[in-house]
């Protein structure tokens, strides 16, 4: 497997870990201790602590960006393009994704925390745009 494919697998696993390690633990700890019932959790309602809502957003951010990166990897595999820049960009993207999630979950909403999160998001977007450009540039005429 190539680095971009490994990173896609890592991204998917990080998304699941974010779901189960934050949202899942929060919900089930409340259900199992009798502080909540399973049917009260609604996707369309603002509920839970500030930390829980940030965890929900962090997971949603993973879900929003995973298909875009997956599409890029599909194009890379379909075209057969192999370039070390794609490997580096993929690894930087995954690192920025993990840090973005950790900052989102660990730090309360402040201007500083939001600026860090936006910067990490921007790094991911720039990595994906650059990856697409590399594929286009490397493809034979």
pLDDT in tens, 95-134: 999 999 999 999 999 999 999 999 999 999 999 999 999 9
Residue 90 lies in a domain: yes
Query: In sequence order, what DSSP letters do the residues of 71-131 get, joined into one string?
Result: HHHHHHHHHT---HHHHHHHHHHHHHHHHHHHHHHHS-S-HHHHHHHHHHHHHHHHHHHHH
Residue 62 lies in a domain: yes
**Which pLDDT does position 141 carry in this prediction?**
66
pTM of the model as a whole? 0.92
Residues of the domain holding 7: 3-40+50-138
* 3-state class (DSSP) for residue 140: coil
User: Which residues, 6 or more positions from 39, have their beta carbon under 8 angstroms from its beta carbon?
Assistant: none
Number of domain units in the chain: 1
% of the chain with per-residue pLDDT over 70: 99
Q: Is position 26 within any domain? A: yes
Distance, in Å, from the CA atom of 12 to the CA atom of 70, rounded to the nearest integer, reads 9
pLDDT at residue 41, rounded to an integer = 81
- Quick check: 4 and 73 in contact, CB under 8 A? yes
| Per-residue pLDDT tens digits for 73-102 | 999 999 999 999 999 999 999 999 999 999
In a domain, 45, yes or no: no
Higher pLDDT, 30 or 71: 71
**CATH for 56:** 1.20.120.550
- 108 falls within a domain: yes
Is residue 19 one of the residues assigned to a domain?
A: yes
């Amino acid at each position: 497997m190539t680095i971009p494919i490994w990173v896609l697998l890592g991204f998917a696993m990080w998304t699941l870990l974010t779901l189960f390690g934050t949202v899942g633990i929060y919900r089930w700890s409340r259900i199992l201790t009798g502080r909540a019932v399973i049917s009260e959790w609604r996707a369309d309602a603002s509920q839970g602590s500030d930390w829980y809502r940030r965890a929900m957003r962090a997971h949603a951010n993973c879900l929003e960006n995973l298909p875009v990166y997956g599409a890029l990897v599909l194009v890379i595999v379909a075209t057969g393009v192999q370039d070390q820049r794609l490997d580096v960009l993929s690894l930087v993207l995954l690192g920025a994704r993990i840090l973005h999630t950790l900052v989102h979950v660990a730090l309360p909403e402040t201007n500083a925390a939001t600026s860090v999160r936006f910067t990490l998001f921007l790094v991911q977007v720039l990595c994906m745009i650059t990856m697409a450009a590399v594929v286009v540039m490397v493809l034979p005429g």
